Structure 1
């Protein structure tokens, strides 16, 4: 019975750690954004610049420990490492859930979004299983006792997982779980379907009885239903609170608003353009690759001259910073502004490029992989 329980725990924990590591390594920049949230919460913002590098290393650690557990190699060190990691993450998810400081832990990236309490529950289960494995680590048998084979497999898994993380960071996620993925119809994803209910809120009144000093809190519905307002002894104290009672339908894209420097809304005009248009995304102009922007600027000029294709640059930087950047780079593309959150979701690259037509994401590229103007013409513009 102990052998069955140990093998089950070993396989379950090993597979889950590998899966979790691979999902996050598929999008290390996104995982890095999540780590920056935690760094800010724990007043460790000085680590923000290293967030993506730390993200890749954490992914490698998860994958390697999961694989070594499945292989049964070095059971004492591996179970000890897993225990240290799960204790740390259980503490982290508890803090996130209890104090509502981070709304999603990022455990499985954007593929399987979990609430903080779901993440904490998952970590508790893993904690129990890993403690059991640590106690019974002597019964974990390796698939081979050949030390050279063990070291070779360890090196292979480490290099493969590290290479995968670097590859996806340098290109784009192999699997895109974000709403701006290729083929997505952005206007449709921004709409609330007809008949769908929005969020339901209750107005909560703080009541006080002038005669008895009794205090109570009641909703606006109960306030009217009980007709407490007819009793002169009861009075409303302070300002009422608006409380979410029931979550309604939420569009997949709910926070994209594109403005020009004067604040005019251009979202509909840019997103629903019936012709090909190029969107260059550089959410922070201070951190974007200027050489890549220069190449994209030349591409935009050719596209406009030969095919009358509109190119815009979206950023969350200030208008003053964008104006200085535009003049310095001699930008041909028009500059518009949006919040950093949707821009980070559009494309995991700075700069990154989206090719839109009639609101649909036809394709998207990391600045390392943007095709030449001739290839874009052949595949898209000239058709």
Structure 2
């Protein structure tokens, strides 16, 4: 019975840790942004610059511990590592849920968004399973009996675990779960259907009787149904309390607003462009790769000369800062502004390049894998 329970626990924990680490390593920048939210909550923002590196390390650690557990490599050390890690994660998810500080934990990246309480429940189950593994860690037998083969397997696991995160950081996620993925129609992702259900709220009033000083609470529906508002003896005191009962329809893209330096909204004009257009996304020009922006600028010059392709730069910097950057790097692109959050989701790179047509993301590239102008021309611009 002990071995059966232990085997089931090992399989569940091992595969879940590998999956969790792999899905986050697919988008280490996104996981790094989530870590920055936690850093802000705990007032350790000095770690912000190291967030992506920490994200890659944590993802790799999860995959290493999960694979080592399944193979029975160094079971005692792995059991200790799992226990310490799950206690840490359980504390974080409980703190997020109890104090409503981080709305999604990022446990499975953007692939499977979980609420704080769902994340905490998941960690509690994992905690029980890992405690079982920890108690019976002495019964874990290695599947690889040769020490050299075991060391080689561990080396391969470490190499692959770190390699996934490093690769996706330097290029782009292998699987894009964000609303700005290739082939996504951004206009449709922003639409709210006419028959979409709105948010449902409930307002609670505190009422006080002027004669008896009696107080009682009533919801807005009760307040209207009983028609207590017609009774002059009752009055509302204090501020009404409003809570969300049911979340209504929410479009996948709800926070994208593109403006010029004067604040004029150009969102739909840019997205509704029926022709090919290039979008350079550099959410933070102060920390962007300037040489990569210049390469994109060169692509833009050729695209304009050859096919009159419109190219714009999107950033969250101030107009003054963006103008200075444009002059310094001799940019020919139009500059528009948007909040940093959607810009980070558009392309997991700073800068990144998007090719769009009629609101659809045709393709996008990390600055480490920019296409040549000839590639753009032959695959997209030239009419076939």
- 1:347 equivalenced with 2:347 (yes/no): yes
- Between the aligned partners of 2:32 and 2:140, the Cα distance in structure 1 is 34
Matches within 5 A, 1:1-383: 1-383=1-383
- Between the aligned partners of 1:216 and 1:303, the Cα distance in structure 2 is 69
- Between the aligned partners of 2:337 and 2:240, the Cα distance in structure 1 is 35
SS in structure 1 of the partner of residue 187 of structure 2: helix
Task: Provide, for residues 254-311 of structure 1, a one-character-per-residue CA deviation record: whole Å limited to 9, x for no partner.
Answer: 1111111111100000111100001111111111110001111111111111101001
Cα shift at 1:107: 0.2
- Between the aligned partners of 1:214 and 1:69, the Cα distance in structure 2 is 63
Cα shift at 1:61: 0.3
Deviates more, 1:268-277 or 1:241-250: 241-250
Question: TM-score by structure 1 length?
Answer: 0.98
Cα shift at 1:233: 2.4
Task: Provide, for residues 311-336 of structure 1, a one-character-per-residue CA deviation record: whole Å limited to 9, x for no partner.
Answer: 11111111121121112112111111
- Between the aligned partners of 2:92 and 2:308, the Cα distance in structure 1 is 51
SS in structure 2 of the partner of residue 345 of structure 1: helix
- Between the aligned partners of 2:302 and 2:243, the Cα distance in structure 1 is 53
SS in structure 1 of the partner of residue 107 of structure 2: coil
- Between the aligned partners of 1:161 and 1:272, the Cα distance in structure 2 is 41
- Between the aligned partners of 2:251 and 2:366, the Cα distance in structure 1 is 26
Cα shift at 1:376: 0.5
Task: Provide, for residues 65-98 of structure 1, a one-character-per-residue CA deviation record: whole Å limited to 9, x for no partner.
Answer: 0000000111111011000000000000000001
Cα shift at 1:3: 1.1
Task: Provide, for residues 318-355 of structure 1, a one-character-per-residue CA deviation record: whole Å limited to 9, x for no partner.
Answer: 11211211121121111111111111110100000110
- Between the aligned partners of 2:193 and 2:277, the Cα distance in structure 1 is 27
Task: Provide, for residues 99-158 of structure 1, a one-character-per-residue CA deviation record: whole Å limited to 9, x for no partner.
Answer: 000000000000000000000000000000000110011111110232211111111000
- Between the aligned partners of 1:34 and 1:216, the Cα distance in structure 2 is 42
Task: Provide, for residues 229-275 of structure 1, a one-character-per-residue CA deviation record: whole Å limited to 9, x for no partner.
Answer: 12222211234343222111111111111111111100000111100
Deviates more, 1:235-244 or 1:65-74: 235-244
Cα shift at 1:167: 0.5
SS in structure 1 of the partner of residue 369 of structure 2: coil
Cα shift at 1:204: 3.0
- Between the aligned partners of 2:237 and 2:304, the Cα distance in structure 1 is 62
Aligned length: 383
Task: Provide, for residues 172-210 of structure 1, a one-character-per-residue CA deviation record: whole Å limited to 9, x for no partner.
Answer: 000000000000011111101231212122333232233
Note closer, same or farther for the CA distance 1:373–1:221 as it changes in structure 2 (3 Å cut). same
- Between the aligned partners of 1:219 and 1:291, the Cα distance in structure 2 is 60
Unaligned stretches of 5+ in structure 1? none
Unaligned stretches of 5+ in structure 2? none
Question: TM-score by structure 2 length?
Answer: 0.98
- Between the aligned partners of 1:331 and 1:317, the Cα distance in structure 2 is 15
- Between the aligned partners of 1:326 and 1:203, the Cα distance in structure 2 is 50
SS in structure 2 of the partner of residue 237 of structure 1: strand
- Between the aligned partners of 1:186 and 1:228, the Cα distance in structure 2 is 48
Cα shift at 1:63: 0.3
- Between the aligned partners of 1:151 and 1:182, the Cα distance in structure 2 is 40
